[in-house]
Chain A
Amino acid sequence: RKEVEQDPGPFNVPEGATVAFNCTYSNSASQSFFWYRQDCRKEPKLLMSVYSSGNEDGRFTAQLNRASQYISLLIRDSKLSDSATYLCVVNPSGGKIIFGKGTRLHILP
């Protein structure tokens, strides 16, 4: 099992729809989890951290399921500007942050 796995997509979603994707991780001792967003030919940027109790930031909701070792990202009322690649990030501690390969999202007008 790879350390961090994501469905590469692409997810093609009409504007205004809700979309969700998951990320699984293999190291049960992992401590910290994040979602990053990367636009074409740009550097990744932090979208949100993922907390054990789940957390929300506007239209974005992140959740962690430690028992099943996955995190999820839900985007409500999707906008054209949400089109990007979303990277799952896991920090198992010790300095070696692990990135998933990313899920591509295309919001269709």
Chain B
Amino acid sequence: NAGVTQTPKFRVLKTGQSMTLLCAQDMNHEYMYWYRQDPGMGLRLIHYSVGEGTTAKGEVPDGYNVSRLKKQNFLLGLESAAPSQTSVYFCASSYEDTIYFGEGSWLTVV
């Protein structure tokens, strides 16, 4: 009973490196989201997708890119990581307004 799975769970990057966070859901949900959560800032929406092949910007999209080539996967890319992108990243999918989260990916940029 996987639900929403994120990989990797932990990663340390050097400034300027690139990486991709992978989110996979096995619930056949149309909508998927990437959030970041920082102390005192709450969950902030980075990008979201309302279906395969579509993406849209959220509240804090700068420095990130996304792709939704397959319905079950939503990838979040950091092209040139910056210390300000140190955060916990949560992927989520939703069906009929109920949103299901992955367990989070802890990213540190040094």
Q: Is B19 in the interface zone, CB < 8 Å from A?
A: no
A46 proximity list for chain B (CB < 8 A): 98-99
Q: Is B77 in the interface zone, CB < 8 Å from A?
A: no
Kindly provide the distance from the CB of B56 to the nearest chain A CB, expressed in whole angstroms.
7
Interface residues on B, range: 20 to 34
Q: Is B64 in the interface zone, CB < 8 Å from A?
A: no
Which residue from chain A places its CB closest to the CB of B45 in the assembled complex?
A96
Kindly provide the distance from the CB of B1 to the nearest chain A CB, expressed in whole angstroms.
15
Complex CA distance for A95 and B94, rounded to whole angstroms: 9
**Out of B99, B102, B104, which one reaches A89, CB within 8 Å?**
B99
Q: How many residues belonging to A are interface residues under a CB distance threshold of 8 Å? A: 23
Whether B90 contacts A97 by the Cβ 8 Å rule is no
Within 8 A of A (CB), among B60-110: 90, 94, 97-99, 101-104
**Out of B42, B94, B97, B98, which one reaches A100, CB within 8 Å?**
B42
Give A50-70 as 1s and 0s: 1 = Cβ < 8 Å from B's Cβ atoms: 000000000000000000000
Complex CA distance for A99 and B45, rounded to whole angstroms: 9
Complex CA distance for A32 and B76, rounded to whole angstroms: 27
Q: Is B41 in the interface zone, CB < 8 Å from A?
A: yes
- List 17 A–B pairs whose Cβ atoms lie within 8 Å, in order of A's numbering: A34-B97, A42-B104, A43-B104, A44-B101, A45-B101, A46-B98, A49-B98, A95-B56, A96-B56, A97-B33, A97-B94, A97-B99, A98-B45, A99-B42, A100-B42, A101-B40, A101-B43
